[in-house]
Amino acid sequence: DAKTTQPPSMDCAEGRAANLPCNHSTISGNEYVYWYRQIHSQGPQYIIHGLKNNETNEMASLIITEDRKSSTLILPHATLRDTAVYYCIVRVTGANSKLTFGKGITLSVRP
Amino acid sequence: EPEVTQTPSHQVTQMGQEVILRCVPISNHLYFYWYRQILGQKVEFLVSFYNNEISEKSEIFDDQFSVERPDGSNFTLKIRSTKLEDSAMYFCASTVGQGKGQPQHFGDGTRLSIL
């Protein structure tokens, strides 16, 4: 699986949009971009995933650049409960393939 | 919303003892996984399981580890003779696995403490 690079941490104000960047410059054509988050030591929570097109669901939006070498997770109105470690993971499309977690980015939402 | 459930939430075991961690994956899911996270470290893949067989395993998943789907709902991880370094959070995950990069969904984990 392609490697991803994320800044170690960022913060944002409650109610504002949080834009979390991820670099995956070696991504190949059959690899999806996934975002998960982990609050304290709870299980990783699936947020969103995409292949080429931008995606939106009730939690977040995923913007993937045209060359697919980077992406941004957008939490449109961050709340204190969004404080967590966010993982950007690239994974091949095979149903059986594992997720390889990095260190992620620690998002701190301040009041 | 359906979820992956894991029991127990916390397991304390003496070194050298056997331990079984239990998971109930989401009911229509076909692919199952175990991961672990040592305190302060990354989440690490252990094993994937499909059609009653191990599909892939990591270097961590040695002869002391085994997995089983004993019935239509449970998925278990057994550690035969626990070591101090097995202390970690263990997460079970499952996915439907059909097309469009279906995501894995995780349980909230079992905290395993080896004394």
Give strand pairing partners of B112: B11, B88
DSSP state of B102: P
Q: Do A98 and B98 touch (CB under 8 A)?
A: no
Q: Write out chain B residues lying below 8 Å of A95, CB-based.
A: 30-31, 50, 95, 97-98, 102
- With an 8 Å Cβ cutoff, is A91 touching chain B? yes
- Integer CA distances (angstroms), B47 to A9, A38, B15, in order: 30, 20, 22
Extract the tokens encoding B22. 């239990």
List strands edge to edge, sheet with B5-7. B5-7, B19-24, B75-79, B65-68
- Residue of A28, A64, A99, A100 to mutate, interface with B, max B Cβ within 10 Å: A99
A17-51 residue pLDDT tens: 999 999 999 999 889 999 999 998 899 999 999 99
Average pLDDT over residues B89-110: 90
A49-77 residue pLDDT tens: 999 999 999 999 999 999 999 999 999 99
How many Cα atoms are found within 13 Å in the side-chain-facing hemisphere of B30?
9
B14, pLDDT greater than 90: yes
- Residue of B32, B58, B61, B104 to mutate, interface with A, max A Cβ within 10 Å: B104
